[in-house]
Amino acid sequence: MQHINLSYSWTPHLESSASRNRLSPLRNPLMDMLQAVREAGSIAGAAKSMALSYRHVWGELKRWEQALDQPLILWEKGQAARLSEFADKLLWAERQAQARLSPQISALQAELEKTFAVAFDTHSHLLTVYASHDDALVQLREHSARESLHLDMRFCGSVDALRALNEGRCNVAGFHAPVQPSSRSLIARTYKPLLRTGQHKLIGFALRQQGLMVAPGNPQKIGQLSDLTRPGIRYINRSLGTGTRLLLDDAMQTAGITPKQIAGYDQEESSHAAVAACVASGQADAGLGIASAAQAQGLHFVPLLQECYWLVCLKSVLDTPSVQALTKVLQSDSWQQQMSKLPGYANTPLAGQVQSLKKAMPWWQFKTGSSEPNLRSPD
Per residue, the 3-state secondary structure of 191-253, as one string, reads HHHHCCCCCEEEEEEEEEEEEEEECCCCCCCCCCHHHHHCCCCCEEEECCCCHHHHHHHHHHH
Q: Across the chain, what does the average pLDDT equal? A: 87
Mean per-residue pLDDT, 32-43 = 91
Residue 215's pLDDT band, with cuts at 50, 70 and 90, is very high
Residue 204 has pLDDT above 80, yes or no: yes
Q: Give percent of the chain with pLDDT exceeding 70.
A: 89
The pLDDT of residue 20:
46
Residue 266 has pLDDT above 80, yes or no: yes
- pTM score: 0.67
Please name the residue ranges forming H helices in the chain: 29-40, 43-49, 54-68, 85-120, 135-145, 158-166, 186-191, 243-255, 272-280, 291-296, 321-331, 333-340, 357-360
Residue 18's pLDDT band, with cuts at 50, 70 and 90, is very low
Could you read off the pLDDT of 48-62 as tens digits, one per residue? Answer: 999 999 999 999 999
Selection from 279, 270, 281 nearest residue 93 by Cα: 281
Query: Burial, 343: exposed, middle or buried (Cβ in 10 Å; 0-12, 13-18, 19+)?
Result: middle
Residue 287: strand, helix, or coil = strand
The pLDDT of residue 12:
61
Could you read off the pLDDT of 117-152 as tens digits, one per residue? Answer: 666 777 888 899 999 989 999 999 999 988 889 899
Kindly give the pairing relationship between strand 149-155 and strand 125-131.
Answer: parallel
d(CA 258, CA 252): 7
Residue 259, CA distances (Å) to 123, 182, 313 in order: 51, 22, 34
Selection from 142, 157, 134 nearest residue 112 by Cα: 142
**Domains in the chain with CATH codes:** 9-95 (1.10.10.10), 124-364 (3.40.190.290)
Residue 372's pLDDT band, with cuts at 50, 70 and 90, is very low
Which conformational region is residue 93 in: left (phi greater than 0), alpha (psi within -120 to 50 degrees), or beta? alpha
Half-sphere exposure of 142 (CA within 13 A, CB side): 16
The pLDDT of residue 94:
87
Count of residues for the chain? 379
How far, rounded to the nearest angstrom, does the alpha carbon of residue 134 sit from its chain's CA centroid? 4
